[in-house]
């Protein structure tokens, strides 16, 4: 440890909490209701599965180091040039890569207090100071959500990157596109603003649209997207970053050449083309999200508004026994103590039967 750079010395390795693999062994195939990781309970497009099988003939070959076909498809889908797209081993890799490239000693990172945990990690791994900006209050319309004014106030002369998730994990909250445009026009042009749109496919509020069209106005903007959520391909680990070609070119200098694997490239291209499947997932999630939020609220629980595929639920008391009770009944939530929210659990919106089993288990635990 003493040999590591100071930022890394203070870090601890990722703690997955529960041993899911061991837990699954105790249940019949598919019987465990896994609502801890904001995965897509509906699964990927059948076309993506077929593309993976097809790609297996070429497993002895390296994947395309430039991910050309998928980059072109993503560029076309967002109205951009392929030079504005870089692929990652999940968007997680790209979030970390930006820390490595743009932050560092004396070049800090700003994110919201309850922003996605990887932003602080990206700062620490780069040896960069991390400044959390206070979140919105609990009784706000967007409880614990991003406070764009507080984020602006936290930006200083040494700030290199501001990371914002919209909508945000773990809160599920969001801000509208007009507010983001205003924020971008007020942030100094030498600060990189990363808008993480991991959950954008799940958004139903018409006031929240992708930040991608703002790239034309703000060269210091980068937008990340992922195939892990709406496209249901978390197991393949593919994400992308959309930005100014100059910014992408700098990131390309340190990107590992074969960071996206062969089945991943093939499957994501197929998934991107299957508009019908994505539309179905979005519809199902919107219906189930509303029904689950209503059912939880009806039980007197505080449910944060969400534009994602998960709900942050505040039990108003230590949530650890609730978590343990759910797990004992074969339902896996995500504890929030690591985020400084020990009274909350985060629950992925499942398919209808999973949500029913969640509510049943919760009723037993809370009885």
What six digits make up the tokens of 61? Answer: 């070959």
Q: How far is the CB of 91 from ligand PMP (least distance, A)?
A: 3
Q: Which is nearer to ligand PMP, 63 or 88 (CB)?
A: 88
- Minimum Å gap between C-beta 264 and ligand PMP is 11
Of residues 84, 91, 139, 138, the one with CA closest to residue 116: 91
Please state, in angstroms and rounded to a whole number, the distance separating the CA atoms of residues 282 and 249: 33
Contacts of 182-190 with CB under 8 Å at 24 or more apart are 182/148, 183/148, 183/151, 183/152, 184/214, 184/217, 184/218, 184/220, 184/221, 185/218, 186/152, 187/152, 187/155, 187/162, 187/220, 188/155, 188/159, 189/219, 189/220, 190/220
Q: Which is nearer to ligand PMP, 146 or 357 (CB)?
A: 146
Interface residues with ligand PMP (CB under 6 A) are: 38, 90-92, 116, 165, 169, 196, 198, 226, 228, 234, 239
* Distance of closest approach, residue 209 Cβ to ligand PMP, in angstroms: 17
Nearer to ligand PMP, 169 or 361 (CB): 169
Distance CA 205, CA 259 (A): 34
CB nearer ligand PMP, residue 226 or residue 355: 226
Pick the closer one to ligand PMP by CB: 87 or 327.
87
- Please, which residue, 77 or 234, has the CB nearer to ligand PMP? 234
Nearer of residues 212 and 365 to ligand PMP, judged by Cβ: 212
55 or 166: CB nearest ligand PMP: 166
Whether residue 93 contacts residue 113, with contact meaning beta carbons closer than 8 Å, is answered with: no
Instruction: Please report how close the Cβ of residue 167 comes to ligand PMP at its closest, in angstroms.
Output: 8
Rounded CA gap, 231 and 43, in Å?
Answer: 8
Give the burial string for 225-237 (b: 16+ CB within 10 Å, else e): bbbbbbbbbbebb
3-state secondary structure of 240: strand
CB 115, min distance to ligand PMP, A: 8
Q: C-beta of 143: minimal distance to ligand PMP in Å?
A: 17
CB neighbour list of residue 113: distance below 8 Å, 6 or more residues apart: 132, 133, 134, 135, 144, 340
Neighbouring C-beta atoms of residue 105, cutoff 10 Å: 13
Compute the distance between CA of residue 246 and CA of residue 219 in angstroms, rounded to an integer: 9
CB of 239 to ligand PMP, least distance (A): 4
Pairwise CA distance, residues 194 & 224, whole Å: 7
Q: Nearest-CB residue to ligand PMP? A: 90
The CB-of-317 to ligand PMP minimum distance in angstroms stands at 26
């Amino acid at each position: 440890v003493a040999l590591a750079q100071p930022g890394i010395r203070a870090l601890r390795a990722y703690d997955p909490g529960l041993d899911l693999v061991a837990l699954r062994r105790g249940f019949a195939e598919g019987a465990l209701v896994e609502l801890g990781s904001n995965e897509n309970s509906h699964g990927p497009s059948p076309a993506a599965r077929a593309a993976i099988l097809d790609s297996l003939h070429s497993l002895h070959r390296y994947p395309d180091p430039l991910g050309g076909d998928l980059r072109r498809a993503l560029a076309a889908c967002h109205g951009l040039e392929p030079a504005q797209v870089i692929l990652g081993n999940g968007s997680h890799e790209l979030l970390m890569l930006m820390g490595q490239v743009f932050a560092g000693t004396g070049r800090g990172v700003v994110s919201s207090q309850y922003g996605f945990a990887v932003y602080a990690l990206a700062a620490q791994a780069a040896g960069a100071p991390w400044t959390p900006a206070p979140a919105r209050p609990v009784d706000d319309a967007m409880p614990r959500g991003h406070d764009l004014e507080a984020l602006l106030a936290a930006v200083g002369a040494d700030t290199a990157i501001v990371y914002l998730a919209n909508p945000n994990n773990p809160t599920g909250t969001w801000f509208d596109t007009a507010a983001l445009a205003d924020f971008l026009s007020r942030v100094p042009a030498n600060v990189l603003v990363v808008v993480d749109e991991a959950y954008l496919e799940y958004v139903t509020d018409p006031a929240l649209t992708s930040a991608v069209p703002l790239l034309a106005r703000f060269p210091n903007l980068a937008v990340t997207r992922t195939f892990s959520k709406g496209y249901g391909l978390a197991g393949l680990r593919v994400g992308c970053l959309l930005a100014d070609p100059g910014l992408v070119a700098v990131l390309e200098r340190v990107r590992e050449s074969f960071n996206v694997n062969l089945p991943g490239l093939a499957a994501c291209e197929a998934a991107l083309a299957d508009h019908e499947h994505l539309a179905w997932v979005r519809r199902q999630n919107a219906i189930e999200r509303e029904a689950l939020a209503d059912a939880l609220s009806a039980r007197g629980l505080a449910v944060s508004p969400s534009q994602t595929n998960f709900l942050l639920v505040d039990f108003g008391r230590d949530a650890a026994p609730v978590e343990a009770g759910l797990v004992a009944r074969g339902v896996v939530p995500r504890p929030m103590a690591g985020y400084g929210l020990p009274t909350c659990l985060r629950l992925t919106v499942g398919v209808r039967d999973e949500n029913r089993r969640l509510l049943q288990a919760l009723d037993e635990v809370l009885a």
